[in-house]
Chain A
Amino acid sequence: MGGENKIEMGTSENGFIKRAMVIGGGIAGITASIDIGNAGYEVLLIERLPSIGGHMLQLSETFPTLDCAQCTLTPKTVETGQHPRIRLHTYSEVVRVAGRAGNFSVQIRKKAAYVDWEKCTGCGLCQQKCPSRYPSEFDRRMGLGKAIYTLSPQAVPNKPVINPEHCRYFLEKKCRVCEKICPVGAIHYQQEDRLIEEKVGAIVVATGFDLMPVERFGEYGYGEIPDVIDGLSFERLNSASGPTNGEIRRPSDGRIPKEVVFIQCTGSRDPERYMPYCSRVCCMYTAKHARLYKHKVHDGQVYIFYMDIRSTGKGYEEFIQQTMEEGILYLRGRVSRIFREGEKIVVWGVDTLTGKKVEVLADLVVLATAIVPHQETKTLAQILGIHSDSYGFLTEAERKLKPVETNQEGIYLAGCAQGPKDIAETVAHANAAASKVQALFATH
């Protein structure tokens, strides 16, 4: 329900452009776009991947309600896709920004999809028939994807792109199966990147996060032990749409792990070697992981190595306590080393409360690796002329009272690009960014 929006705004008399650009199509960007759009302003939503949804689309369930992430997000992605005032530019990047609040000139690169999206009906035949298979990034390399792909069957927009690094036509100049099978002739191998120019009055930066790669952790096997995975990978394992259809099976041999170790603060709270800050979401998502695992593998045992349990959100502490009461063993201490020994993974940790060294022979180890800004955020900050900190997180104008403003008028921040935060906080942060855009437009 809600309002039927009647107010149309474009440019005010003094030439102030009342149209916003949101960079990043995760939950932060989606939320900001819908809010600005609902207030009656036009929005350009720029997403670097072929479809919107961001990392939230990779999640299985969300804490503390254990609601299905797909179910809470897809209505939002659908709403974004159908919103009369939101224009999606997916598979696109911001190349250049000039000007100031009310009059930014923006250059956007629309990457070559090698598919004519105007013609494509999203029937999916090309993906079915494509013979090339390679580890899918969306499934954290645990499942196989095709060279012509959408991120998920529920993608918005539901249009595929060809990855030339894996496409047989681009590699060997043969195949062309997709071209032959496409009923509307949408495959277009000669397509090239396009640069387009747009004018906007305000910008919201919502470029999100990445996880610190497991390859960085020597003491944990440099990412080369297949059954040592990160938190997002576990989300995919747990997801009904993931590579195992939601069954918890370990990547190495597909067996159901019975001893599962979760390690918090991997790369976080480690000023000497990695990141000094707390990544804020790991304590909660690990507790969630532990419970979802336990619900699926009743005779399995979960061990969680932690330093401090951080469950500060509404209903979070209660969630943690319930998790413990379900028989999940929390061990206060870090893990010094992980190595493979036969089919098992040996975990050398400690329980500082007894003071004893602990060894667990695990079947699966999940590392809660540090939240880091998305790698392109720094470049983007330079393009926009806004500040970022030494880790690459974007800097707000003032810590307490201006958490979404930047040093540039008309440019606002939303979500994890500014610092680690959970979905609820991200949504509120994005709403707040939208509020600032609305106020900026209303006062001109």
Chain B
Amino acid sequence: MNYLYFPGCTLYTKAKNFDQTARNCSLLLGFELVELPNWTCCGATFPLATDNLMALLPPARILARAKEQGEVLTTLCAICFNVIKRTNHLIQKDGEKREKINQFIEMNYQGDLKVLHYLEILKQEIGFSTIQERVKKPLNELQAAPYYGCMLLRPFEEMGFDDKERPTLFEEFLTALGARSIDFPYKIECCGSFQSVGTPEVATECAYRILTSAMRQGAEVIVSTCPLCTFNLDQKQSDILKAHLDFKTIPVLYFTQLLGVAMGLEPQTLGFEQNAVDPIPLLKRKGLV
């Protein structure tokens, strides 16, 4: 079984390692991520102003093109997933907007594509039990804190990813990999998102609160589903150190990186050199690299 796949800008360029590990893992799990031809940027924000039709056109076009290729579209990046899925939902529910959009993009798309996040593919299509069986290097009770962020969960009615107040899908995933999943209250709190370009110190403070919350519960590593969250939580730790003298750093991994470790991919292929806080010492301590 192959899945139509939308990489998005970040995973196509700066976070290529996240993309590559996912592709490699998929093959080990018996399916292939087939890149959507002629894809464009999704726009990275779902327009909240109701009169902003223009911002809906790129994701609409992506959806329309994907529909020509198949029935399911998957993404890795939580932001792309949010934008595409919400647009899909809007096209489904709002006849008036649907008509306008179709006129603009000169296509006829009815909103009938299924949009799934890669984690949903793993759970619904492959099954976490299958993954557990195929894990080459169980994560040895690595104390991993699953950070959901906002984009997968909200708005609940449109995303339908998991329970909005206490999601568990990510935990199940980590457990399947042999890690010990650490529950922490900030797992659904926002990392500051694009404030890292607007008001960076706000994003830094958000990251500080999330990281320390996880550490208080005993986390050794934070695992994220979103490249922007990963950036805010990982790359900002040097700024946090300046603002909070008591702060201790903690590695932050993208979920495909951890999947790669468990599937036994070579550490060199996982792009750890791009992580600001080096996870290698931890992984070594756990006997995982």
Give the residue name and chain of the A residue nearest to B213 (CB).
A341
Are A222 and B216 closer than 8 Å at their CB atoms? no
In the complex, A409 has a CB within 8 A of chain B:
no
CB of B216 within 8 A of CB of A341, answer: yes
The residues in A between 315 and 349 inclusive whose CB is less than 8 angstroms from any CB of B are 339-342, 346
Q: Are A218 and B185 in contact (CB under 8 A)?
A: no
A-side interface residues, number (CB < 8 Å): 8
CB-CB contacts below 8 Å: B136-167 with A: 163-166
A398 within 8 A of B: no
Contacts of B165 in A (CB 8 A): 218-219, 222
Docked pose: A341 CA to B216 CA in angstroms: 9
Q: Which of A217-251 contact B (CB under 8 A)?
A: 218-219, 222
Residues of A within 8 A of B166 (CB): 218, 222
When distances are taken between beta carbons in the complex, the residues of chain B under 8 Å from A341 are 185, 213, 216
- With the chains together, A346 CA to B164 CA distance in Å? 19
Counting chain A CB atoms within 10 Å of each CB, the highest count among B163, B165, B216 belongs to B165
Whole-angstrom CA separation of A222 from B185 in the bound complex: 13
Please state if A346 and B185 are interface contacts (CB–CB under 8 Å). Answer: yes
Kindly name the residue among B164, B166, B216 whose own CB sees the greatest number of chain A CB atoms within 10 A: B166
- Note all chain A residues with C-beta closer than 8 A to B164: 218
In contact, A340 and B185 (Cβ under 8 angstroms):
yes
> Digit string of B256-271 for contact with A (CB within 8 Å is 1, else 0)?
0000000000000000
Closest Cβ neighbor of A338 among chain B residues: B185
Q: Are A339's CB and B185's CB within 8 A?
A: yes
Asked if A218 and B216 sit within 8 Å, CB to CB, the answer is: no
User: In whole angstroms, how far apart are the Cα atoms of A367 and B164 in the complex?
Assistant: 20
Q: B218 CB to closest chain A CB, in angstroms? A: 12
Chain B: minimal CB distance from A225 (Å): 11
Which residue of chain B is the closest to A218 with respect to CB atoms? B165
Bound CA span A340–B185, Å:
8
Which residues of chain A in 194-231 are interfacial with respect to chain B, using CB atoms and an 8 Å cutoff?
A: 218-219, 222
Chain A residues, CB < 8 A from B213: 341
- The proximity string for B residues 161-189 relative to A, scoring 1 for CB distances below 8 Å and 0 otherwise, is 00111100000000000000000010000
Q: Mark out the residues of chain B between 205 and 260 whose CB falls within 8 Å of any chain A CB in the assembled complex.
A: 213, 216
Other A-B pairs, 6, CB within 8 Å; known A218-B164, A219-B165, A222-B166: A218-B163, A339-B185, A340-B185, A341-B185, A341-B216, A342-B216
| In the complex, the 7 A-B pairs of residues with the closest C-beta atoms, listed nearest first | A218-B165, A339-B185, A219-B165, A218-B166, A222-B166, A218-B163, A341-B185
Listed in ascending order, the chain A residues whose CB lies under 8 Å from chain B are 218-219, 222, 339-342, 346
Measured CB to CB, the residues of B under 8 A from A are 163-166, 185, 213, 216
* A-B pairs with beta carbons under 8 Å apart, 14 shown: A218-B163, A218-B164, A218-B165, A218-B166, A219-B165, A222-B165, A222-B166, A339-B185, A340-B185, A341-B185, A341-B213, A341-B216, A342-B216, A346-B185
